[in-house]
Structure 1
Amino acid sequence: MTEKIGVLGKKSPQRTGVERVVNAPLPTVYGKFQAVGYLDHDRGDEQVALIYGDIGTEDVLTRLHSECLTGDAFGSQHCECGDQLASALRAVVAEGRGIVVYLRGHEGRGIGLLGKLRAMALQAEGLDTVEANLALGLPVDARDYGVAAEILHDLGVNSVRLMSNNPRKREALVEHGIRVAETVPLLIPPCENNITYLRTKRERLDHHLPHLDAVAHLS
């Protein structure tokens, strides 16, 4: 039986807040969004929420998307992040309203770009994504979703329909006072290059990825 890895850890310390800095129109290939820029005073990160339509306050279709340069910008097939981001943006446009919070500082589940690349090098040698992080002396998942909850509070959102396969995101939002009315799966068809990574996320990090059962033929 594969050992599962707990990643919740201790409750995050009290945050000092995020500041809304700018609101600008952002036309994209998916539709015309409003980009609301924030400064996270705790970490110094610049954050952005992409808003589509009149979002309202309840049951807002929402994606908390962790920054992934390799997947989002370069189209890496090591993960499914780029496809998830595109799917989330299409989904809120199809819904007519929604939010994608793009969380900077989350690269490599919070270990940074170079840490992620080092972990990917170890994975190419046979370690899984959890083993690689631990071999480098890095946490399995160092992400904090407090800033995302603060952004949602600032936007007047009380409850969300959360596009995610990761139960930790739901738990974190609830912990920070955002009700999760529904979890909406964001399942991307796997490929030969990411199937091992995705299976590790399901087996060791408790991600809900039932569609992997249908692709047992992939190595």
Structure 2
Amino acid sequence: MRYIIAFLISLVAFFVLDYFDINNILMIGLMFIIILIIILAPPILYTTLLQTDEDKLERFLLKNKKNPHFYIIYALANELDEEVNDITEALLHKYKQASRQATYSVVRALYFKNLQEAKVHVNQIKPLKYKLYYQSIILIEEDDLDGAEILIEQMKTNWMRYALLAEIEQKRNHLSNARNYAHQARSKSRGLQRYILHKTYEREFGF
């Protein structure tokens, strides 16, 4: 389908170029690059951002084991402790941007239940929704459930809210509510995040 779309876009693009008598090499080159992106990019973008089939997501992650950005997702989801640590070290060594470093450090710290380490880095995370998400996890792990709920009220991303509420209900031993929130979190998630939630809830709730 994407090739048909690219072909149709090509026809329209070249019609426009011909109609307006555009023969500037830069404009033609830009048009070619846009068409190439349309042909090549969607499969990866769709899989990482929109795919909901967990088996296809797993095959994608295993196929891309050599890419640390993808394999870290597989390692986290499947609780591969050594791989999580090694891949995080590789990412920290490769990317020096403060916000990225903070995110990698916080994810690893929370995975290994090192709350003090997570608290050192969490405020350096730039995207607000991720900062609030990880701050909420820290509060939940510290049993400050009321404080976590205050942060959750500020979140607009549905899967994040439901995932955190599932954690809170688990802490309160309200397992039926936790399962319901977990179901909602998974149903609202897409792409690689869907895979992590699926594997997590498969272990915790059996679905």
Tell me if both proteins adopt one fold, taking TM over 0.5 as the criterion. Answer: no
More strand by share: 1
More helix by share: 2
Q: Which has the larger radius of gyration?
A: 2
Q: TM-score range by the shorter chain?
A: under 0.3
Q: TM-score, normalised by structure 1?
A: 0.24
Q: TM-score, normalised by structure 2?
A: 0.25
